[in-house]
Amino acid sequence: MGYSLVDPIVLTGDAMDQQELLGFATKSKNAHIAALIHSYRLELAYRFCEYDLLPELIGNVQSLLKTNPNGLTLQRNALFEGLAAFAVVRKGKKKRKWRKHADKIVKKVKGWVNNGTPNCTHVLHLFEAEKLELEGNIDEAKKSYDLAASKARRMGFRHDMAMAMERAGEMFIAVGDNFWANHYLESALNSYIEWEALAKARQLYNNYRKHISDDFADRLRE
């Protein structure tokens, strides 16, 4: 995610080749490897706003995770499966189906939090913000995005903190509040740069340049 400029959601580079590894996983019937690849691709497709790919990737991950119930993989996948479902609802595609799917993921994460899983608390706040935004409750959604970002920072999930602030910025763009849009998007960009997710940082800057100070251009050229 940090440096790819060609196709950041294809897991091919110096370290690995996506198609070769998927071929190996299929041939060796290794569901664990296949599930990880599709789960990472779901995360990247969401982060890089490739929303048309999300329904298919959710389906791929769901079918594979049934045979690979690994704790951390399930929790990280739930974050992006839930966010992907909310994103599809916002885009107006099969709203009833994907809202139902999002609610199912929210219920699952809430169960983990109630059972004492601390690294899911920020995920639950982020989902709550998404729900409130869909309902048009912008003030309460802002509070939940702030809570999600704060909890993510305290738990060391800087990448999730950046994502919560990015979503808050996008929400304020949608309602025409440039002050808060600028604030959240610049905060998100700063966090992505500190995380060294440069491909994502450049995409965010290019997508929302009018909401972001020109000072960031020099930092992105470094």
* pLDDT for the residue 77: 86
* pLDDT for the residue 172: 98
For residue 212, give every residue at least 6 positions away whose Cβ sits within 8 Å of its Cβ, in sequence order, or none: 182, 185, 186, 189, 204, 205
* pLDDT for the residue 16: 67
Return the percentage of the chain with pLDDT > 70, whole number: 84
Given a contact cutoff of 8 angstroms between Cβ atoms, the answer to whether 9 and 53 are in contact is yes
Within its chain, how far is the Cα of 184 from the centroid?
Answer: 16
Residue 201 — left, alpha, or beta (φ > 0 → left; ψ -120 to 50 → alpha)?
alpha
Distance CA 40, CA 112 (A): 21
Q: Give 16-74 pLDDT, tens digit per residue.
A: 667 776 676 677 776 677 777 778 888 889 999 888 888 888 887 777 666 666 544 78
Q: Give 168-212 pLDDT, tens digit per residue.
A: 999 999 999 999 999 999 999 999 999 989 989 999 999 999 999
Q: Give 77-91 pLDDT, tens digit per residue.
A: 899 999 999 999 998
Name the DSSP class of 195. Answer: T
* pLDDT for the residue 4: 47
Q: Is the pLDDT of residue 12 over 70?
A: no
Q: Within a 10 A sphere around the Cβ of 173, how many other Cβ atoms?
A: 18
Distance CA 125, CA 141 (A): 9
Given a contact cutoff of 8 angstroms between Cβ atoms, the answer to whether 197 and 2 are in contact is yes
* pLDDT for the residue 70: 58
Name the DSSP class of 17. Answer: -
Name the DSSP class of 4. Answer: -
Q: Compute φ and ψ for 138, nearest 5 degrees.
A: -65, -40
Mean residue pLDDT across the chain: 87
Give, for 108, the enclosing helix (H) or strand (E). helix 95-114
Helix, strand or coil, per DSSP, at residue 159: helix
For residue 109, give every residue at least 6 positions away whose Cβ sits within 8 Å of its Cβ, in sequence order, or none: 75, 78, 79, 82, 120, 123, 124, 127
Distance CA 212, CA 141 (A): 22
* pLDDT for the residue 142: 98
Given a contact cutoff of 8 angstroms between Cβ atoms, the answer to whether 197 and 163 are in contact is no
| pTM of this structure | 0.86
Q: Within a 10 A sphere around the Cβ of 190, how many other Cβ atoms?
A: 16
Calculate mean pLDDT across residues 138-148. Answer: 98
